[in-house]
Amino acid sequence: MPDDILAVFADALPGHIENQNRYSPSTAENDPGPLFSTLELRTSRNTISAWPGYQPTPLIRLPGLARYLNVREIRYKDEGARFGLGSFKALGGAYAVYSLLASNPDRSAITVTTATDGNHGLSVAWGAESAGCRCVIFIHEKVSAGRERALKSKGADVIRIDGNYDESVRQCYRAAAANDWIVISDTSKDDSGNEVARVVMAGYSVMVAEIIEQLAGDVPTHVFVQGGVGGLAATVCECFHLAWGEAAPRFVIVEPELAPCLFESCKKGERVATDVVEETVMAGLSCGEVSAIAWPTLCRFTDDFLTIPDFVVAPTMRLLADGPFFDPPIVAGESAVAGLAGLICSSRHASLASALQLDQASRVLVIGTEGATDQALYESMTGLSVRSVQRASI
């Protein structure tokens, strides 16, 4: 039975590049310096942990799957319950809205805006609703109706454009310039957008601080984390290096084959844009351009870049839901599982596993960045109701 479940992963050999530009102490002159100051990290933690409803999300052990993949340990950070918004993104956009408006007495005169495939926009809309300012969200043509409804439920005006995510970003910036709105972006094209995107990432750092505490000194050997524009990955590897220095885990970024902007940038040795011609099912990772603020950190600390095909996504979601190796059932959305799928695919191919130094001693961390943020989509991809999986996990 488990062999059947994992068979599909043997058909998926991930694309792999090892980062040749990785920072080492001998090339210290290329060091871009830290992304965050200690004060910024402390402030985001103190602020967000004081918000109503704050609770650290769980770090779950998957010993059954670890045994099956022949690694020593797998830990899964489950962001499904984050502030009732369903993803780690709840920490970023809302924190940037909060930070920008904290000192502004007349918030009702302010409009914030962003482009989104769902999660980031929901965070911005939630932050705007809490702050009492207006919010306009741009979504592209493939964003699901469920995600559009969720944005509206937080009081946002939603504009659906023709075209892909990158086009929605362009239209958002145009409208912001014409109307004097504030763009709360989770990515930056150049230095001018860096500051807001950096504050968003400082919000994500709260999740990383939780992980470091939950690990209680048990530093993993590997981290597999999914990449969209790279803001999440940059935050994770930056904070791990701050915490553990040279003892930080091997850092592996996993992207969809259909949207490999980080992978391609590594190949070229510089940040390059790629065209998203066909939408990946991993909607949150469907990005053609790496965030400018994230890239120097990623280039410095990432060890490996992987790409995975879409056909392993639903089986990974299903595997987490079923817990076939007697692990606790987990509800994970389609953009949550790329890291884990990358790990499973790598472990099924001996040459890749060896290139990544994955073996029986490996202790692997993956970050389940969202729960079922679109329930209808979750149910159509897994054939399971969210409720039934949640009930089984109690």
Ligand X SMILES: Cc1ncc(COP(=O)(O)O)c(C=O)c1O
In the region spanning residues 99 to 138, those forming contacts with ligand X, defined by CB under 6 A, are: 119-120
Task: Tell me the closest approach of the beta carbon of residue 181 to ligand X, in angstroms.
Answer: 21
Q: Both tokens of residue 336? A: 């949550």
Site track for ligand X across 43-82, x = CB under 6 A: ----------------------------------------
Task: Tell me the closest approach of the beta carbon of residue 389 to ligand X, in angstroms.
Answer: 17
Residue placing its CB nearer to ligand X in the complex, 260 or 324: 260
3-state secondary structure of 328: coil
3-state secondary structure of 50: coil
Q: How far apart are CA 249 and CA 265, in angstroms?
A: 22
Task: Tell me the closest approach of the beta carbon of residue 262 to ligand X, in angstroms.
Answer: 8
Binding segment for ligand X (CB under 6 A), chosen from 48-56, 157-165, 284-292, 315-323, is 284-292
φ, ψ of residue 364 in degrees (nearest 5):
-110, 135
Q: Is 288 in the site for ligand X (CB under 6 A)?
A: no
Q: How far apart are CA 47 and CA 45, in angstroms?
A: 6
9, 254 Cβ separation under 8 angstroms: no
Q: Which of 14, 58, 231, 315 binds ligand X (CB under 6 A)?
A: 231
φ, ψ of residue 183 in degrees (nearest 5):
-85, 125
Q: Is 230 in the site for ligand X (CB under 6 A)?
A: yes
Q: Is 166 in the site for ligand X (CB under 6 A)?
A: no
**Angle at CA of residue 121, ends 119 and 124, nearest 5°:** 115
In this structure, are strands 250-256 and 304-308 parallel, antiparallel, or unpaired? parallel
Q: Is 87 in the site for ligand X (CB under 6 A)?
A: yes
Task: Tell me the closest approach of the beta carbon of residue 227 to ligand X, in angstroms.
Answer: 5
Q: Any catalytic annotation for residue 89?
A: yes
- Estimate to the nearest angstrom the gap between the alpha carbon of 30 and the chain centroid: 26
* DSSP code for 58: P
- Estimate to the nearest angstrom the gap between the alpha carbon of 225 and the chain centroid: 7
Q: Any catalytic annotation for residue 191?
A: no
Q: Is 256 in the site for ligand X (CB under 6 A)?
A: no
Q: Is 330 in the site for ligand X (CB under 6 A)?
A: no
φ, ψ of residue 287 in degrees (nearest 5):
-130, 140
Binding segment for ligand X (CB under 6 A), chosen from 29-37, 283-291, 299-307, 349-357, is 283-291
Binding segment for ligand X (CB under 6 A), chosen from 174-182, 242-250, 282-290, 310-318, is 282-290
Residue placing its CB nearer to ligand X in the complex, 65 or 336: 336
φ, ψ of residue 283 in degrees (nearest 5):
-55, -40
Catalytic residues: 89, 117
In the complex, which residues of this chain contact ligand X (CB under 6 A)?
A: 87, 89, 119-120, 186, 226-233, 284-285, 287, 335-336, 369-370
